Amino acid sequence: MNFTQLFTYSSYVFGLFLSLTIMVLFLTWFERKALARFQMRMGPMRVGFHGTLQPIADAIKLISKEDILPAWADKLVYWFAPIIVFVPAFLVWVTIPFGKNMVLRSLDLGLFFIVAVSVLSILGLIMAGWGSANKYAVLGGLRAAGQLISYEIPLIMAILAIAILNQSLNLVEIVDSQVNIPNLFIQPLGLVLFFIAGLAELGRTPFDIHHAESEVVGGPFVEYSGAHWSVFYLSEYINTFTIGILTVLLFLGGWHWPNIPFSGNLQITLSVLVVLFKTMVVIGVIFWIRATYPRLRIDQLMSFGWKMLIPMAFINVTITASVLYYNLSLWILSIISIILLILCIFIIQRKFLINNEINTIKLISTKSLLDEKNEFELN
């Protein structure tokens, strides 16, 4: 390609990078505000109007901190780990559409590319743990890698089911085939699987055991500080945004529901706004879940992933494929999905209620105790 093409493409890439950075800064502010409101407090208020300049203050603070390098750390591994976590997070955005005709490069193997590239960041996590020369960091890094690898499978299976349903791996075509009805109504089980597996991939509550502070140590990032750590922090928020927009594009109809009547540039702008609004709603749900739930222990996390999500994911793919193969109506698929979801809920309920009920408390009135004073001393 000649120079002008190179120039235009690189300016597009630069524009994408810039807008993603601004998005990430906005997300950090949004998370703090949303969490604060769920906890009946206010969040950042002093830096700028209602704290809108807080992310910039955070960025300045992180950049001005000293970058500590442990003495026994493997320098190459330690330095490259953040880069390996960070680059795939941005790289997937090459093929994700923001709105109608708003994609940098619409690849025919779009979903395949996304899945393949995003798995690379797990290697970066292991490198971060190993390069820190801290036995707790190594343990934390391996735990995190185990969690991420095991939850990749339901994620990929959910994406595979959508690809089978819409007969394409190109994201623009998947969204366009949801013109009449979003995939949410056809495969509710797929949405739940994708969302939960996505939460586990991000390392967010209830799956954030690998960087929880109330455990013994802080996980693979314990030795990083300053600008190095901010790279990990940013990549987590980029991944959050990626999962959010993928949920919208794959399941919630992208820019097609509600359908926008205008045409031309106005339609494109409105489509971008519709996609962004829906993504913010999904991300709001992610923050809502973070505010409400405690976290799972590592063995409970793994058993939930392997014993509940993976069989459901496989059943989901099989049923989608068979419905499409036998040319049955798609409503059968949604009914079977809902039945499977209810079955999951039922299994989870039974797991905790087998052999004992939740409420094991009984109230003994003091008057009755005072009357039979002799026999209540030791049961």
How far is Cα 45 from Cα 245, in angstroms, rounded to an integer?
28
From residue 354 to residue 373, what is the string marking binding to another protein with x (rule CB under 8 A)? --x-xxxxxxxxxx-xx--x
Does residue number 58 form part of the binding site for another protein (CB under 8 A)?
no
Does residue number 214 form part of the binding site for another protein (CB under 8 A)?
yes
Does residue number 227 form part of the binding site for another protein (CB under 8 A)?
no
Q: Which is nearer to another protein, 132 or 205 (CB)?
A: 205
Residues 189-201: b if buried by 16+ CB within 10 A, e if exposed: bbbbbbbbbbbbb
**Is-contact 191 251, C-beta < 8 A?**
yes
Is the N-terminal amide bond of 294 cis, ω within 30° of 0?
Answer: no
Of 288, 311, 318, 343, the one binding another protein (CB under 8 A) is: 288
Q: Which is nearer to another protein, 166 or 205 (CB)?
A: 205
How far is Cα 240 from Cα 234, in angstroms, rounded to an integer?
10
Cα 264 to Cα 84, 255, 268: the distances in Å are 39, 14, 7
From residue 8 to residue 47, what is the string marking binding to another protein with x (rule CB under 8 A)? ---------------------------xxxxxxxx--xx-
Q: Which is nearer to another protein, 71 or 364 (CB)?
A: 364
Does residue number 212 form part of the binding site for another protein (CB under 8 A)?
yes
Q: Which is nearer to another protein, 216 or 335 (CB)?
A: 216
Q: Which is nearer to another protein, 71 or 378 (CB)?
A: 378
Tell me which long-range contacts 27-34 makes (C-beta under 8 A, separation of at least 24). Answer: 27/237, 27/240, 27/241, 27/283, 28/54, 28/55, 28/58, 28/237, 29/54, 29/55, 30/280, 30/283, 30/287, 31/287, 34/284, 34/287, 34/288, 34/291
How far is Cα 30 from Cα 24, in angstroms, rounded to an integer?
10
Of 120, 273, 298, 338, the one binding another protein (CB under 8 A) is: 298
Q: Which amino acid, 200?
A: A
Give the shortest CB-337-to-another protein separation in angstroms.
16
Give the shortest CB-206-to-another protein separation in angstroms.
5
Does residue number 349 form part of the binding site for another protein (CB under 8 A)?
yes
Q: Is 360 exposed, middle or buried (0-12, 13-18, 19+ CB in 10 A)?
A: exposed
DSSP secondary structure letter of residue 220? G
How far is Cα 179 from Cα 125, in angstroms, rounded to an integer?
39
Of 14, 262, 293, 331, the one binding another protein (CB under 8 A) is: 293
Does residue number 347 form part of the binding site for another protein (CB under 8 A)?
no
From residue 185 to residue 204, what is the string marking binding to another protein with x (rule CB under 8 A)? --------------------
Does residue number 236 form part of the binding site for another protein (CB under 8 A)?
no
Q: Which amino acid, 204?
A: R
Residues that bind another protein (CB under 8 A): 35-42, 45-46, 205-206, 208-209, 212-216, 288-300, 345, 348-349, 352, 356, 358-367, 369-370, 373, 376-379
